[in-house]
Amino acid sequence: MNIHEYQAKEVFAGYGIPIVAGKVATTPDEAAKIASEAGGSVVVKAQVHAGGRGKAGGVKLAQNPDEAREKAGAILALTIKGYPVRKVLVVPAAEIAKEYYLGVTMDRGAKRPVIIASAAGGVDIEEVARTTPEKIHRYHLTRRGAFRSYEARAVTMKIEPRKEIALKMARVLERLVEVFWASDASLVEINPLITTPDDKVIALDAKMVIDDNALYRQPRLSAYREDESEDAAAAREMGLSFVPLEGNVGCVVNGAGLAMATMDLIKHYGGEPANFLDIGGSSNPDKVTTAMRIILDDPQVKAVLFNIFGGITRCDDVAQGILAALKNLDVRVPVVVRLTGTNEEIARGMLAQAEGVEPAATMDEVVKTALARANGARRI
Ligand code: GDP
Ligand code: MN
């Protein structure tokens, strides 16, 4: 789960990382009011779950409240990388001497978290990583509580030669590492970390991504969730992994790997999946019904495909879910079902008489048939 900059800054501040406190506005007038309270120049910043806001025109300096109103109006009208801007953060402008990068993320290859530090922070960090990777320093972490001050200093001395400032940065880094562990984050990032002309060290931006699987034990961070559609909320509550897509073939699959393979096969035969949906291991019929409801909410969907490999998942439970969906939902599109594995014969028997349900024996067949139905071919 992504959280907004202003939320991540609240978390950072709680751990003693220096930030400039600001306020959130949802209208240009509110932004002007915050700016007039702040006095002096402010920065107006789009709060969206996307990076690169600066380059997209989502971060603007305003000298006075009138300018803040105008800039906030422009930013609130933007859509950045598909995210409409609904809130802006208004913060007193900081004077920048130099921009650095500090982050902690998961290094999947090394199976450890890794600190990433660079003296070349700012909006072009991706470009720096690509063209001059020697400017990016990495340092692996082992376990929570093991990272020592001298290690933090060794990292920050690589990006800042002045000892006093490197020490201040080391304290920020130690705190950032603790935020990473304590929050079950997959990424915590300060870009830019700045020095000011009077040698203060400040986190000017803040980004955090929290591991979804840990949200149950992160109630404070979970409360930051927002902008979730009703379908997405229903899927989450049911324990379904659901990602809406552009195509017309709805997919209900168990297991992320099988779901991906099914989507690949749909593409292979020239079709487009309407969604990724993994109903997971256990086979609660309610999950299947919820999955159907979410998929049928999308008017683009012209056929629904089930590809279930029954292991722990019992095919008869899935069949029961399909029957309940047919009974309780307005299912107007063909449903093509491949069920194999545990209790498949029972499941097939249950579905034999079901109106609008077509069986398929193999993965290839279920995909080809669903595509044909989605494209309007009549039943054979
Ligand atoms: P991002 O583009 O989404 O990463 O947004 P940032 O918060 O990192 O802002 C982008 C850039 O805007 C920064 O790298 C700074 O150069 C600039 N910027 C942001 N806040 C301030 C500020 O308070 N003062 C000044 N002078 N520049 C700022
Ligand atoms: Mn940034």
pLDDT tens-digit readout, 88-104:
999 999 999 999 999 99
Nearest Cα residue to 189 out of 85, 93, 14, 51? 51
Question: For a substitution probing ligand 1, which of 9, 205, 207, 208 has the most ligand atoms within 8 Å of its CB?
Answer: 205
149 alpha carbon to ligand 2 midpoint, in Å?
A: 26
Q: Which atom of ligand 1 is nearest to the CA of 205?
A: 7
pLDDT tens digits, residue range 345-360?
999 999 999 999 999 9
Instruction: Specify the range with the lowest mean pLDDT, choosing from 85-99, 271-285, 318-332.
Output: 271-285
Give the pocket of ligand 1 (CB within 6 Å).
43, 45, 51-54, 59, 93-94, 96, 99, 122-123, 191-192, 204-205
Question: How many other C-beta atoms are found inside a 10 Å radius of the C-beta of residue 92?
Answer: 15
Nearest Cα residue to 199 out of 240, 231, 169? 169
Q: Which atom of ligand 1 is nearest to the CA of 53?
A: 3
pLDDT tens digits, residue range 119-155?
999 988 999 999 999 999 999 999 999 999 999 999 9
Residue 157 CA to residue 154 CA, distance in Å, equals 5
| pLDDT at residue number 227 | 61
Q: Which residues surround ligand 2, an ion (CB under 5 A)?
A: 191, 205
pLDDT band at residue 228 using 50, 70 and 90 as cut-offs: low
Question: For a substitution probing ligand 1, which of 95, 96, 187 has the most ligand atoms within 8 Å of its CB?
Answer: 96
Q: Look at residue 235 and tell me whether its pLDDT is greater than 90.
A: no
Catalytic residues: 101, 189
What number of CA atoms fall less than 13 Å from residue 347's CA on the CB side? 29
User: In this structure, which ligand is nearest to the CA of 46?
Assistant: 1
Mean pLDDT of the chain: 94
Residue 31 CA to residue 37 CA, distance in Å, equals 10
Please state whether beta strands 303-310 and 335-341 pair in parallel, antiparallel, or not at all (unpaired). parallel
pLDDT tens digits, residue range 102-121?
999 999 999 999 999 999 99
Rounded mean pLDDT of 51-63? 95
Instruction: Specify the range with the lowest mean pLDDT, choosing from 13-22, 32-41, 278-287.
Output: 278-287
**289 with 318: CB under 8 angstroms?**
no
Residue 221 CA to residue 20 CA, distance in Å, equals 21
Nearest Cα residue to 238 out of 312, 295, 319, 154? 295
pLDDT band at residue 84 using 50, 70 and 90 as cut-offs: confident
| pLDDT at residue number 380 | 43
| pLDDT at residue number 352 | 95
Nearest Cα residue to 156 out of 126, 121, 182, 129? 121
User: In this structure, which ligand is nearest to the CA of 189?
Assistant: 2
- State pTM to two decimals: 0.75
Share of the chain above pLDDT 90, in %: 86
